[in-house]
């Protein structure tokens, strides 16, 4: 009897293995970013284009996505540039293949009205708050370096967004480098001194949200990767070419709201703060060997090393960038 059970178990395992080999399936980790392709998620464009079964799994942050990818449960994922830099610095086998968004004006340095701060140089001796180890913390240090201000001469305070809001309202801080929803609130009685978009353009030290893939999985599923990039590019183009039609009651914005968890009425203004690079721009400007992405990851990793978030950095971060899928999609 035991022999028959073992045979049956072996046969079942073989059948299951064959079925899995024949099943085109992928699990993709996504976050709450306001990105145009949320509409493609809703309309199942990727499934239609590739024939794969897509398991969409939402995560609360890039760190969670990285952990899920490390376990093998997720093959592709949305992660911010800080999370990508840390993961590849640790030697994890991921490659950046698409820029979901250039953070642009969605993060900004704002000074309170009456604070006497009209430039980055004026931060000397003042209190500025932001969450440490974030993209805005990184850009605060970049802005100070660019302006020739010693960070030791500025009171840089570590606060989560709700704490920043409360400190701003009490008058405890004179400036913050922050994102929505706090950004829109502090703008009401503050002045924008610098945006991440302007700082990225001036220094090449960009911050962005990107799509990463497990290198081995992507290599084995190249056709899927190219088709996925085409779906992403088409969704972004649709938004760039028809922004006025993306209103709170449009099916596109409703889809973005549904998948991100945002309020539909807040989506159009929130999306307008980001930049969504076109296919050719991704290829030539961002994902090239000496492009913005590799430079941004290198600069971010150096910052993380200085903050003891990583133990070492890579000599060349272009090894973590694969622009070949975009190149094929652009043909």
pLDDT at 12 over 60: no
- Residues found in the chain: 331
pLDDT at 3 over 70: no
> Which pLDDT score, from 0 to 100, does residue 14 have?
47
Which tokens belong to 317? 């971060």
pLDDT at 134 over 90: no
Which tokens belong to 25? 């399936």
pLDDT, tens only, 22-54: 569 999 999 988 999 999 999 999 999 999 999
Q: Where in the chain is the domain with CATH 3.40.190.10?
A: 23-103+206-329, 105-203
**What is the residue-averaged pLDDT of the chain?**
91
Contact assessment for residue 94 and residue 105, using Cβ atoms and an 8 Å cutoff? no
pLDDT, tens only, 175-184: 999 988 789 8
Contact assessment for residue 259 and residue 38, using Cβ atoms and an 8 Å cutoff? yes
Whole-angstrom Cα Rg for the chain: 22
- Between 125 and 181, name the one with better pLDDT: 125
pLDDT at 4 over 90: no
> Which pLDDT score, from 0 to 100, does residue 7 have?
42
> Which pLDDT score, from 0 to 100, does residue 181 have?
79
Which tokens belong to 22? 């024949």
Max CA pair span of the chain = 86
- CA-based nearest residue to 273, from 108, 157, 83: 108
> Which pLDDT score, from 0 to 100, does residue 261 have?
87
Provide the CATH topology of domain 105-203: D-Maltodextrin-Binding Protein; domain 2 (3.40.190)
| Angle at alpha carbon of residue 164, lines to 160 and 167, rounded to 5° | 135
pLDDT at 2 over 70: no
pLDDT, tens only, 191-213: 999 999 999 989 888 899 999 99
Average pLDDT over residues 309-315: 95
> Which pLDDT score, from 0 to 100, does residue 160 have?
87
pLDDT, tens only, 242-290: 999 999 999 999 999 999 888 899 899 989 999 999 999 999 999 999 9
Q: What is the CATH number of domain 23-103+206-329?
A: 3.40.190.10
């Amino acid at each position: 009897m035991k022999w028959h059970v073992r045979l049956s178990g072996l046969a079942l395992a073989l059948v299951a293995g064959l079925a899995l080999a024949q099943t085109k399936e992928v699990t993709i980790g996504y976050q709450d970013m306001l990105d145009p392709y949320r509409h493609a998620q809703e309309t199942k464009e990727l499934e239609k284009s590739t024939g794969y079964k897509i398991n969409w799994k939402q995560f609360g942050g890039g760190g969670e996505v990285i952990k899920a990818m490390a376990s093998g449960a997720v093959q592709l994922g949305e992660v911010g540039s800080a999370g990508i830099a840390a993961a590849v610095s640790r030697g994890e086998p991921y490659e950046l293949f698409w820029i979901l968004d250039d953070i642009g004006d969605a993060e900004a340095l704002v000074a309170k009205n009456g604070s006497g701060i009209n430039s980055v140089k004026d931060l000397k001796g003042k209190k500025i708050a932001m969450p440490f180890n974030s993209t805005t913390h990184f850009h605060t240090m970049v802005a100070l370096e660019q302006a020739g201000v010693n960070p030791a001469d500025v009171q840089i305070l570590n606060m989560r967004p709700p704490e920043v809001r409360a400190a701003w309202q009490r008058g405890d801080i004179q400036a913050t480098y922050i994102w929505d929803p706090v950004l829109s609130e502090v703008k009401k009685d503050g002045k924008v001194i610098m945006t991440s978009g302007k700082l990225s353009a001036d220094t090449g030290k960009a911050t962005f949200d990107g799509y990463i893939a497990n290198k081995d999985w992507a290599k084995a599923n190249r056709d899927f990767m190219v088709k996925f990039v085409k779906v992403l590019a088409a969704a972004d183009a649709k938004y760039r070419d028809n922004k006025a039609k993306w209103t709170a009651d449009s099916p596109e914005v409703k889809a973005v709201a549904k998948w991100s968890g945002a309020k539909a009425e807040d989506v159009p203004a929130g999306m307008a703060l980001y930049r969504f690079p076109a296919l050719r721009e991704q290829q030539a400007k961002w994902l090239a060997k000496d492009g913005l992405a590799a430079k941004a990851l290198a600069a971010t990793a150096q910052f993380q090393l200085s903050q003891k978030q990583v133990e070492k950095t890579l000599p060349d971060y272009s090894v973590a960038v694969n622009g070949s899928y975009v190149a094929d999609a652009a043909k």
